[in-house]
Chain A
Amino acid sequence: MLARTRSWLAIALGAMFALGSGNAEARTLDEIIKSGSIKVGVNPTLVPLGKFDEKNEIAGFDVDYATEIAKMLGVKLEVVQVGSPDRIPFVQSGKIDFVMGAMTRNPERAKVIDFTLPVHTEVFGILTTEAKPFKDWKELNTESVTLVQVRGTTPIKFITDNLPKAKITQLDNYPDVIRALAQGRGDAMLDVVDFVGEHMNKHKDVKWKVLAEKPVDVYFCGLGIAKTSTGLKDWLNVAIFELARRGKTDEMWLKWFGIPMLYPTGVGPAF
């Protein structure tokens, strides 16, 4: 998850937990089944993947997805709260059996943990409206364009590096940014678009347009597993394919994000 850089609380908590982690070994598939429960790491700061509900319990897409996985495996689900900096150590030390929370697959991370097939994607791209002529994000590099962004997030750096001519209006949070776009205060937003679906839906009269065919980048997010968890990855890949094939993944995505997944994961039967 790229856009949320302000989770200093998660960093602080992560540092605390990391200090307390022991040398336990990651569990194999057999051990998980025998123990009767699976421990899944969810980051409650990445709404709506994970968040605290009214009862102060962690809910969200990740929790629903993990619930389905646990059901298929025939074990109980145990949700463990993780933050961005501590989630990989948690997997390696066996505190959790796999981690969710927009685990973008990349070669660096894949050196230390294993990844399953992608569960979902994230589109780092342009949100604009039908009234605007843009087809490609590169067209936004002119002085007549105003991008509305959340102050202090990582896309700002990308814009100043790659779209230096565009003007930026920086507001305090995502609902304000989406409302400003809806009110015509700017032309577009450059961010991870999936995460603002809920706010987009609040402006029903606005014809939103996502340049999903030509995004700046697409992140493929899988489940992160310890390299020593024998058998777990293979089983999870089968489960992920089944959930995708039966439409369960899309159903859960629509429930939590309010919009269909913008870029297909392309998960097929062969892996």
Chain B
Amino acid sequence: MSSILQYGQIWPYLPSLAAGAWLSLQIAFLAFCGGLLIGTAGAAALSFGGPVLRRIVRSYVTFFTNTPQLVQIYFLYFALPDAGILLSSYAAVLIGMTLNAGAYLTDIQRAGFESVRANEMEAAEVLGFSRLQQIQFVILPHVARVLFPSLSNQYILMTLGTSMAAVFGVEELTGRAFNINSQTFRSIEVFTVTAGFYIAITLVASVILGLIGRFAFRARMRII
């Protein structure tokens, strides 16, 4: 135990870490998709909804963007059972992250909705675009182009945020790293390898998202 950087001791645990990374990726992806749905509905409600609905959505966004995500999941995991609702570790983390993402994505998408100028819509109408064509050729490319960089940033942040799941007994990447660290006491090695895994999964996501953004939505995005 005298020398440092004994990566050989960590080697046998790589498959376990990889499985953890896969779980992290899965949680982030599912929560992001759920959040995107909530966010789209929320942004639409803020842009087109009545005053009561707008107030409700705004309270939701304010609440979830101004409280720590850890506390939100803690509430779901440990406080809800007192009300008779027993969520599993995985469910609590997933629901908590989805609700949190929904709040942030509502805010992000609202900005996108607002970025479509009235005269652009008028121009489309003058050119004889149908409603569907307006959405397809004016609103969507516009929104996508404006929003795509912030959406992919949010996705990366959420991937990193999955490390919180370890606190609630989900054996994702960080949880497994803690376990291996407590067995081998090779802290530097374990956590550098873990950081490598996080970089890998976020980098892969960035590249894919960047390519989609650049070619599908013509967003000005740096691939790396």
Chain A residues at the B interface, C-beta cutoff of 8 Å: 5-6, 148, 151-153, 156-157, 169-172, 176, 179-180, 183-185
Contact = CB atoms under 8 A, between A and B. Distances in A.
A172 B182 contact: no
Given A151-B182, A152-B179, A176-B78, A171 B168 contact: yes
B167 interface: yes
Contact of A5 (B86, B167, B169, B182): B182
12 contacts: A151-B175, A151-B178, A151-B182, A152-B182, A153-B182, A157-B183, A170-B175, A171-B167, A180-B169, A183-B78, A183-B86, A185-B86
Contacts of A148: 169
A5 B184 CA distance: 12
A151 B166 contact: yes
B171 interface: yes
A169 B182 contact: no
Interface string B78-90: 1001000010010
A170 B78 contact: no
B40 interface: no
B154 interface: no
Nearest to B82: A183
B16 interface: no
A152 B182 CA distance: 5
Contacts of B179: 151-152, 156, 170
B182 A171 contact: no
Contacts, number: 37
A53 B78 CA distance: 28
B89 A169 contact: yes
B181 interface: yes
B178 A183 contact: no
Nearest to B74: A176
Interface of B: 78, 81, 86, 89, 166-169, 171, 175, 178-179, 181-183
Contacts of B183: 157
Given A151-B175, A172-B167, A179-B78, A156 B86 contact: no
A18 B168 CA distance: 38
Contact of B81 (A151, A169, A183): A183
Contacts of A176: 78
A265 to B, nearest CB: 31
Given A152-B179, A169-B89, A176-B78, 4 more contacts: A151-B179, A171-B169, A172-B166, A184-B81
Contacts of B175: 151, 170
Contacts of B86: 183-185
A153 B183 CA distance: 9
A177 B167 CA distance: 11
A46 B171 CA distance: 28
Contacts of B89: 169
A152 B171 contact: no
Q: Which 3 A-B pairs have the closest CB atoms?
A: A152-B182, A169-B169, A183-B81
A248 to B, nearest CB: 38
Contacts of B181: 152
A6 B185 CA distance: 10
Most buried by B among A5, A184, A185: A185
A6 B181 CA distance: 11
Contacts of A157: 183
B12 to A, nearest CB: 14
Contacts of B78: 176, 179, 183
A212 B175 CA distance: 31
Contacts of B178: 151-152
